[in-house]
Amino acid sequence: MLRRDVLKLAGAGLATVAVGRTAFAETTPPPVPTPFDFNLDVPTDNRDAFIAWMEKNRGEKTDFLRQRYDRYQALIHNRDIWDKPDMRAFLMTPREEFCLKQNWSRAYEHAFLDIGFGVTISGPHLVGRMTSNLNVAKGDNVLEIGTGSGYQSAYLAHLTDKVHTIEIIKPLAERTRATYDGLIARGYSEFKNVSTKNADGYYGWEEAAPFDKIIVTCGIDHVPPPLLQQLKPGGIMCIPVGPPGAQHVLKVEKTVEADNTITVKRRDIFDGKIVPFVPFTKLEGDGIKGTHNQ
């Protein structure tokens, strides 16, 4: 994709989003009553208790909370999330905030949704399974390649206080940073955990490395060597690998033996199922090729 094509898409994306964000600003909810804390005890086993707790402590809308909990139950049933931290992270992440206004009613569908700029926000089942396979713990230094809407890094911000995310499309990176800043201003203090950067994600984020976990949200035909180098020994990377439109989502684990030999183990987290992603974005000369997916 040439730079001029990206700029055309960017302009169209900004025009679309401006309408949605302006309308949203007119109905902005009051500040979040209870700031985020990693020790918050969010009800996960009862729909009514969850909704009541979130209404009281986070000030979120009932309709979205109902949809979120129903999708959460589907994720549990499908084994896309399975431990307490990831359950809480999914339930506390307001996916609707990262969707365009025209897609609010579909925010919790099992579907990819347009976010402008020719890119999408991945479905919750895919985000849940990839994140769960990372096994993120508080204190982990995590890198995301492909900020997109910001939903994936928002999810991660409920698991650790060190999230770094890179987006190559500048106007999209700026819009998502503004989304985070707006949410922080409303009291979503957990999003202070997210550091953003407009750059070519193929080369990672050397200044913030090494990383305990890396998640790549766009398809590529190989594991980028700079990302593998920036992954700590014992670290985990989740990345879609394969030809265009036919990727397998791999869990890549890096170990260093006593003799300093590096071993890389790969496992398909969908047991061979093809999961199509848009291509990895990479700068090529004065142009941009491919698009991010998250």
| Cβ-proximal residues to 76 (8 Å cutoff; 6+ apart), any chain | 82, 87
Residue 146 CA to residue 117 CA, distance in Å, equals: 13
Q: Which position among 105, 122, 132, 189 bears the catalytic label?
A: 122
Q: Residue 17: name the closest of 88, 91, 113 by CA.
A: 113
Cis peptide, bond prior to residue 225, ω within 30 of zero: no
**β-pairing verdict for 262-268 and 248-256:** antiparallel
229 SS3 class? helix
Query: Do residues 10 and 172 touch, judged by C-beta distance below 8 A?
Result: yes
Beta bridge partners of 251: 238, 267
Q: Are 292 and 278 in contact (CB under 8 A)?
A: yes
Q: Is 105 annotated as catalytic?
A: no
Cα–Cα distance list, 213 to 37, 60, 221, 228, 247 (Å)? 21, 30, 20, 10, 20
* Enzyme catalytic residues: 122
